[in-house]
Amino acid sequence: MPVKKIAPKRRQLSGPTAAFLSWLMPGLGHWWIGEKARGVILFVVITVTFWSGVAVGGVRTVIAPRENGPWIAAQVCMGPQSLIAWKSAENLRLNEAVSAQRVEEGIDSPDALVSYRAPWPSGDIGVVYAGIAGLLNLLVMLDVLARVERMNAGGRV
Amino acid sequence: MEALRAVFVNYVEIHGIWRLLMLAPLILSVSIVYKTLRCRKLTAVPLSSLRLCVSILVTMMLFGGVLLAVYRIMA
């Protein structure tokens, strides 16, 4: 009697989990579904782009939700990295506010006024770099969702 | 640690031609990410992303040149 071969059951991956991992760290979703080299390239390129933007414009100017309008939505797609940058930008803004108050009250001279704000065009270039990095990570999240769907359907990745 | 902090707290002053040159690394990043997602084989990524990067830069420069010419004619 011929033995019927049963194909091994494929592990069903979760698309939202893969997308969330990509948000946590660019490329981590691809790593998780087995596309390790692709994940490493995506991580390096997107992370370098984001932090290059922060270095060019300074974290205070680049991650400024009230000043940069919708760019913050793009930057937040970078995940915890953007949240860390956001937190440090808030600390710098607080330093600026304290310094301005001390000058206003006459405790410090106007020369001692602290400002981390970058002039044009450095600030704008930094904002665009960080925003584009976030949008690229959004693209990565959408791509990993599509790949997981194809894998679960048994198609080619 | 303090030096690393200074890199991200202080901004870089950008003047003159550097305003335009800063476009190239950004376009290279976009090209690499796009081709990494699109290419089935990763060995094809370096060459195809470089080709895409150059074509975007050339197209943008052509557009810029045409716009400048139109502006000069209209002015």
> Could you tell me if A13 lies within 8 Å of chain B, comparing CB atoms?
no
Residue B1 confidence (pLDDT) above 90: no
Q: Which of B11, B26, B45, B52 to probe the A interface (max A CBs under 10 A)?
A: B11
Which residue in A has a C-alpha nearest to residue B17's C-alpha? A121
Is A122 within 8 Å of B22 (Cβ atoms)? no
pLDDT confidence of residue A8: 61
pLDDT confidence of residue A63: 94
pLDDT confidence of residue B34: 98
Interface contact flag, A58 B9, Cβ < 8 Å: yes
pLDDT confidence of residue B75: 87
> Could you tell me if B59 lies within 8 Å of chain A, comparing CB atoms?
no
pTM, rounded to two decimals: 0.91
3-class DSSP state for residue A152?
helix
* CA–CA distance, A142 with A88 (Å, rounded to integer): 29
Cα A147 to chain centroid, rounded: 21
Interface contact flag, B12 A116, Cβ < 8 Å: no
* Ranges of residues in chain A whose predicted pLDDT is under 50: none
State chain A's mean pLDDT as an integer.
92
pLDDT confidence of residue A5: 66
Interface contact flag, A45 B9, Cβ < 8 Å: no
Helices (H), A8-35: 15-24, 28-32
pLDDT confidence of residue A10: 64
* CA–CA distance, B9 with A80 (Å, rounded to integer): 18
ipTM higher than the 0.90 cut: yes
Per-residue pLDDT of B8-60, as tens digits, reads 999 999 999 999 999 999 999 999 999 999 999 999 999 999 999 999 999 99
Give residue limits of the domains in chain B: 2-74
